[in-house]
Structure 1
Amino acid sequence: MALSDPLSLEPLDAPLSALIDHARAAGADAADALGLYGRSASITVRGGELEDIDNSEGFDIGLRVMVGQRQACVSSSDLSSGAIQRLAERAVAMAKLAPEDPYCGLAPDARLSLRRDADGLDLFDPTEMQPAELKARALDVEAAALAVPGVRQAEGASASMSWSAVRLRTSAGFDGGYAASRHGLSVSAVAERDGAMERDYDFDGTRWFSDLRSAEDIGRHAGERAVGRLGATSMGSGAFPVIFDRRVSASLVGALTGAISGNAVARGVSFLKDDLGKSLFSKDIQIVEDPLRRRGLSSRPFDGEGVETTLFNIIENGQLNSWLLNTSAARQLGLETNAHGARGLSSPPGISTSNVALLAGQNSPEALIALAGNGLLVREMFGPSLNPTTGDYSVGVSGFAIENGVLTHPVSEVTIAGNLRDVFASLIPGSDLRYDNDTNAPSVLVEGLTIAGR
């Protein structure tokens, strides 16, 4: 293990400046340029032997130009001066032929972030893992999974690390960037009994190596979950309470953020398009977004358009406070952007969130199971289906039956269905919230979903 100097943003400076300058010279009225540097390494083992190694490093640049109310986006990994000039000229030529978009344009100057770096957010860990160290950790997590009685084999045991740097520059004068890191460890375990096999997994991903869960913990947990699924059967159909384990419950929060995306609302394709300011959850439910969370997996000092980020209450006391808006969606809806722009290399800004969390409640997972009485604990989901205009929702699941307030036998080949309005209205959060993904939630209890089993 070595400690290296933090990534420098300086190599991105000249290419982005040149992109903007050449675009203006070619006739662009406005432009923004994005530069990315990425370096990553991952190693996968199987049966104690190296199975795969992936090591990559490179620079990418993207340019968006606007000519009047027309825009175009281009990208390249060629940072030579001639290629940059040709890229800018091609972008302007494309923009002149593009259809008019009355909502395109740079973010308003008044909304731009004064913070141009990620100082204080602790997003970059200079710990560099060498290939031999990554392989050793992958072997450790595999061995821990195989040590669980009943586990036949481990698959996809892998360890990874990545460094990245991002820099955004606009023709209006915004210039900001920051570096980030990520460490990961994962394994899938296969358990067998009487010829029947079940699979499960565990993983962890953190900004800093020191925050990563141990290989022993991850491997053991994956193995125990796989063994626990042996002997799974279906269950009877009907309307029952359903608990979503904390590993899958965040998908419900993700369905909410998708439905309140300004783009979906502006197009009229969201089942929540008329619910701004209304109560969707019980009054004790809070869903917050914290882009400035220290070591957060999606923390950022400014959004993809350079707009200042801040703590954002999406659901406050059960009530929907705001749409998620970038500059374009805000203009369509006659509102102001609230820093949810996501800039891609070769496309106009989309909409994204940063460190969203359904805040924890008072009930432990065991207390939620007792409250459910008779129902289902969902541990894994397969192929969720959501009608975005109605909120109708269905998904195949596996997990455990709940009888008289306790877990009984493992369950598979079951489908649950309902409407997300009803899901949100009855949702009770557990106390086991962890911030280990971009979107986070504790275990949640939902009343009255329809279970289709045997």
Structure 2
Amino acid sequence: MPLDRMSDRHDLARITAALLDAARKAGATDADALAVAGTSVAIDVRAGKLEQAERSEGVDIGLRVMVGQRQAAVAASDVRDITITRMAERAVAMAREAPEDRFLGLAHPDQLATDTDMTALELYDPSNEPDPAQLEHDAREAEAAALAVAGVTQVQSASGAYSHHRIHMAATNGFDAGYARTGRNISCIAISGTGTNMQRDWDADGRVFQADLRGAADIGRIAGERAIALQGARRIRSGSYPILFDERISSSLIANLMNALNGLSIARGSSFLRDAMGTQVLPTGLSLTEEPHRKRIGGSRLFDAEGLQTRTRAIIEDGVLQSWTLDLASARQLGLQSTANASRGTSGPPSPSAGNLRLTAGTASRADLIAQMGTGLLVTSFIGATINPNTGDYSRGASGFWVENGVVTHPVHEVTVAGNLRDMLLHLTPANDGREDLSRVIPSLLVEGMTIAGE
């Protein structure tokens, strides 16, 4: 790993050990610590000129302490010994005033991950950090390609970005491990038309390895073509129609499902699926699986934020719900075992969160589903959301394309689509266009019988 990067100049293992030592000295019963060192660079261009250049470098540290069954968390961006000592003292003082929580606590040493070497997951690109001039070149190339599309009037923004982070975690139960990750991104937002006829759309790509990144010109061209395709958008009559969630936004529907399966929501009784374990929640034949060990995917991990070994997990199998998403605290509250889904930042305690997901692909293409739906709406973007987590009632502003007799006829905007998530999820038909380069491989999804509020 090249040592000329700013984030490599800090001994994160030493920092987390110092945090734990300070916590013990301050009176903590147990503690865990997180240190993140990173560099982020972003270059934006507009109208052929450099609009913004940002570079951030720094270290963030977090400490969670437990005093009996009370806890507190503190964070800082200063790694001096005096700061670490004061952090620990403040955290312990806060914990002593916190309410008791009989479900909190670190993992037992026997529960901890034994495989912590993440190099096999290829989350870190060892090639040199790109020069800002290269990022600017990518942004300019994307902008130029978008403007070359006939009918594109301007580019709202075109960007090239890079990030490199190292993360290290340690706890008083003996867990001590870390890893590095990188990211490289290009994005472009194009605008077609003028005045009240302006339409915008985008394209982007983000990869762990720079060599895997799509070409900037391709990204700009697609953004431009998408913006042009929206010209002439109009509202449609209200009614009940099938809706096809385009692959670009279909993962939001599965995200709604995962929110309902989150252990915190289940423990609080605030999920419309709180009584659904072992029942049908997706159509027969569809499965939803968590895949934490996919190579070169940013959401991959060998261990979670509490040091537990991650594993491939069947969340829904053949349509039947098999598993909640649990960290240690929510699992204890429900009388279950953690699913190794703890996630955390430096400023707070862990909470359950799912990573890489895969929904069973269908046999039909997106075009096949458009033909199959007859008359309905192809949704390509959403604006806002009103979702009741207790009932599953769902309502979102949407835009996309109207389909008549299986053929796309014209673009649509300023409509609202509504339904109930439990019913929607039971009437899904997936396409076969899920993208393997994404953390969540979710294809386009056809949902029968939703309500469209238009004119």
TM-score, normalized by the shorter chain, greater than 0.5 = yes
Task: Give the superposition deviation at 1:287.
Answer: 1.1
Match in the other structure for 2:161:
160
CA deviations over 1:96-154 (Å, ceiling 9, x no partner): 11111111111232321112231210000123111111100000000010010000001
Pairing 1:298–2:295 present:
no
Deviating beyond 4 angstroms after TM superposition, the runs of 4 or more aligned structure 1 residues are 2-10
CA spacing shift, 1:233–1:141, aligned 2, 3 Å: same
CA spacing shift, 1:393–1:195, aligned 2, 3 Å: closer
Superposition map of 1:56-95 within 5 A: 56-95=56-95
CA contact (8 A) 2:242 2:447 kept: yes
Letter paired with 2:376: G
**Which shows bigger deviation, 82-91 or 192-201?**
192-201
CA spacing shift, 1:9–1:98, aligned 2, 3 Å: farther
Letter paired with 1:397: A
CA deviations over 1:169-191 (Å, ceiling 9, x no partner): 00011001100000000010000
Query: TM-score scaled by structure 1?
Result: 0.97
Match in the other structure for 1:144:
145
Secondary structure at 1:332 match in 2: helix
What CA distance in whole angstroms lies between the structure 2 residues aligned with 1:10 and 1:332? 38
What CA distance in whole angstroms lies between the structure 2 residues aligned with 1:329 and 1:189? 44
CA contact (8 A) 1:245 1:444 kept: yes
What CA distance in whole angstroms lies between the structure 2 residues aligned with 1:385 and 1:117? 42
CA spacing shift, 1:403–1:3, aligned 2, 3 Å: farther
Percent identity, please.
49
Letter paired with 2:266: V
Task: Give the superposition deviation at 1:85.
Answer: 1.1
Task: Give the superposition deviation at 1:441.
Answer: 1.0
Match in the other structure for 1:199:
200
What CA distance in whole angstroms lies between the structure 1 residues aligned with 2:219 and 2:385? 26
What CA distance in whole angstroms lies between the structure 2 residues aligned with 1:311 and 1:207? 21
Letter paired with 1:306: G
Letter paired with 1:347: G
Match in the other structure for 1:277:
278
CA contact (8 A) 1:297 1:436 kept: no
Secondary structure at 2:17 match in 1: helix
Match in the other structure for 1:416:
417
Match in the other structure for 2:446:
445
Task: Give the superposition deviation at 1:4.
Answer: 7.2
Match in the other structure for 2:393:
392
What CA distance in whole angstroms lies between the structure 1 residues aligned with 2:110 and 2:368? 48
Superposition map of 1:203-242 within 5 A: 203-242=204-243
Match in the other structure for 1:264:
265
Task: Give the superposition deviation at 1:310.
Answer: 1.0
Match in the other structure for 1:122:
122
Task: Give the superposition deviation at 1:342.
Answer: 0.6
Match in the other structure for 2:336:
335
Structure 2 unaligned spans of 5+: none
CA contact (8 A) 1:5 1:126 kept: no
Match in the other structure for 1:11:
11
What CA distance in whole angstroms lies between the structure 1 residues aligned with 2:195 and 2:290? 47
CA contact (8 A) 2:394 2:419 kept: yes
**Which shows bigger deviation, 77-86 or 221-230?**
77-86
CA contact (8 A) 1:66 1:92 kept: yes
CA contact (8 A) 2:109 2:174 kept: no
What CA distance in whole angstroms lies between the structure 1 residues aligned with 2:436 and 2:276? 28
Letter paired with 2:454: G
Task: Give the superposition deviation at 1:289.
Answer: 1.1
Structure 1 unaligned spans of 5+: none
Match in the other structure for 2:376:
375
Query: TM-score scaled by structure 2?
Result: 0.97
CA RMSD after TM alignment: 1.6
CA contact (8 A) 1:9 1:177 kept: no
Pairs aligned (count):
453
What CA distance in whole angstroms lies between the structure 2 residues aligned with 1:234 and 1:115? 55
